[in-house]
Structure 1
Amino acid sequence: MSWRDEIESVFGAPVAGATQVQGGDLSDLLRVTLQTGRVLAVKRGPYVGTEARMLRAMALAGAAVPDVLHNGGRLLCLEWLDETAPAGAEAWAALGTGLRRMHNSRSADYGWPEDYAFGAVAIENAMLPDWPGFWAERRLAPCLPALPADLARRVETVIARLPDLLPAQVDGALLHGDLWTGNALFSGEDAYMIDPACYHGHSEVDLAMLELFGQPPDSFWRAYGPLEQGRDARVPLYQLWPALVHVRLFGAGYHGMAAGLLDRLGA
């Protein structure tokens, strides 16, 4: 059955039009309009079932995410959300409130029941009870074989220091896992989180990622609430992994970003 036939069978209406939309690295994204006028965000790819389960977990934790309308095999249908730009203070506050609510959903162990990926970069999520061990074994160490030798040596130095740089036990928050500003969709005064890469870990991971390519305004931080003591020192450590992923995906153009973070970590 084609994706078009599946949609028409599930929603009981013919597809009137479909437009390719710029999406993530894992799935094709279409804006599909039914003859009834209903509009869907339709994803096709090998990980859409995992994404559906992540979105449902986030929704259960009280986060604002697109509604999962259908998931079958390699097809995922979500509600279509119209984006408003630029985001105002109210929308940023809504993101802060929703993120704090999601982070309050906790787990005793760190990780996720399923592995995932950023494009060609695999994400290992097998659960571990020790947070520095998780950040070393599931995040930084898997990058080493794919890095230039100079970066790899410096990352190894950071890995050896992780027991001193990170607390052994953290809050085990439900994380979005890839919360850069492009994965926050602002619609009016509302804010939705899209394209998750969920796992349980330190809530500061999402905050550090949100600061990697920009700086949320004060309204976000006021709505999110109190931050942990010593967070500033951990920001470059939590930004290092996405920087290394960018080196692996996009090459030397992100070498400087990773090197700068390692400089801040004294490696």
Structure 2
Amino acid sequence: MDETARILAEAARLLEITPRRAEPLAGGDLSLVLALDLPTGERVIAKGGPRPEIEARMLRALAEAGARVPKVIAASRGCLVMEALPQSGGLRGAGWLELGEMLRRQHRAAGAPDEAPYGWPDDYAFGPVPIPNAARPTWPEFWAEARLRPSLPELPAPLARRVETLAAQIDEHLPPRPFPSLLHGDLWAGNVLADRGHLSGLIDPACYYGDGEVDLAMLHLFGAPGPEFAAGYGALEPGWQARRAIYQLWPALVHLRLLGSGYHGMVAGLLDRIGV
């Protein structure tokens, strides 16, 4: 059974109804995504992925924190079925303001454990790249051990030495205990859905608790949010410009590991900006 047939069969089992039509959606680079038209006239989304049950828990946590995300309809070890959000084009003006205001609320919501607030109860993955999420009591320790050092064995030696230097000095660069915000964890433009210019919702989370600036760094790495976004989110803590390069290094490392040497220059350029 191929992946499309497997997901379709599992979605039908979870829904207790056979979809009348299944349409593969563009953008599912790391997992197959299907739009399912049901006999009731409703359209839902079904996807596979590394751990659909964990993704379902992340979506529910984001919703509880005030984020706009698809409603989880059903989930199993092999399939996630969720609401289909309206989508047409990209964010414009007021949509960027809506995203900034929503992220601010999400990042201010309480929910992290007290003793080791940085991390997530489950490990995750971007395709074949593991995402370790074991909780840590301080933020620099989490960033060094869960976001920088796991990539070292996969990097060319010159880059690995520079990343290790940064990991060893991370206490000098990051605040020890920022507010543990619930992060989307993979916040690039493709995971922000818009409808007629307004925010429709966020998809494909890779959640954990950490410095809210991480989501902003990712959003600015592969795009340029409109000025309304900054107005909606509000002022950042002093020194955010220096921290942004450190936070952007993590997705750059993931892209290097997933997609190869074309991202070598991005990683090296960020390390130059950081000064290691």
| Fold match by TM threshold 0.5 | yes
Partner of 2:191: 183
| Stretches (4+) displaced over 3 A | 1-14, 23-26
Aligned equivalent of 1:236 = 245
For the aligned residues, what is the CA RMSD? 1.7
Unmatched tracts of structure 1, length 5 or more: none
Which amino acid in the other structure matches residue 35 of structure 2? R
State the secondary structure of the residue aligned to 1:40: strand
1:106-145 aligned within 5 A? 106=110, 107=112, 108=114, 109-145=117-153
Deviation at 1:2, TM superposition (A): 5.9
Match of 2:268 among 252, 259, 262: 259
Match of 1:207 in 2: 216
Q: State the distance in 1 between where 2:156 and 2:195 align.
A: 41
What CA distance in whole angstroms lies between the structure 1 residues aligned with 2:10 and 2:151?
Answer: 38
Q: In 2 relative to 1, CA 25–47 (structure 1 residues): closer, same or farther, beyond 3 Å?
A: farther
1:24 positional shift? 3.7
For structure 2, the residue ranges without an aligned partner over 5 or more in a row are: none
Aligned equivalent of 1:51: 55
User: How many aligned residue pairs are there?
Assistant: 267
Q: Aligned letter for 1:194? A: I
For 1:192, what is the secondary structure of its paired residue? strand
Select the residue among 95, 105, 108 that pairs with 2:109: 105
- Code of the residue aligned with 2:79 in structure 1: it is L
Q: 2:233 corresponds to which letter in structure 1?
A: Y
Q: Which amino acid aligns with 1:266?
A: G
**Cα offset, 1:190, TM superposition:** 2.5
Q: Corresponding residue for 2:22?
A: 18
CA distance in 1, matches of 2:191, 2:151: 23
CA contact (8 A) 2:93 2:226 kept: yes
Cross-structure match for 2:71: 67
Q: Partner of 2:82: helix, strand, or coil?
A: strand
CA distance in 2, matches of 1:262, 1:46: 30
Query: Once the two structures are aligned, what percentage of the paired residues are identical?
Result: 51
CA distance in 2, matches of 1:50, 1:35: 28
Partners of 1:92 and 1:191 within 8 A in 2: no
Correspondence list, 1:142-181, <5 A: 142-181=150-189
1:2/1:93 Cα in 2 relative to 1: closer, same or farther (>3 Å)? same
Most deviating of 184-193 and 33-42: 184-193
Alpha-carbon shift at residue 8 of structure 1 (Å): 4.1
Shift of 1:160: 1.6
- C-alpha change, 1:167 and 1:5, in structure 2 (3 Å) is closer
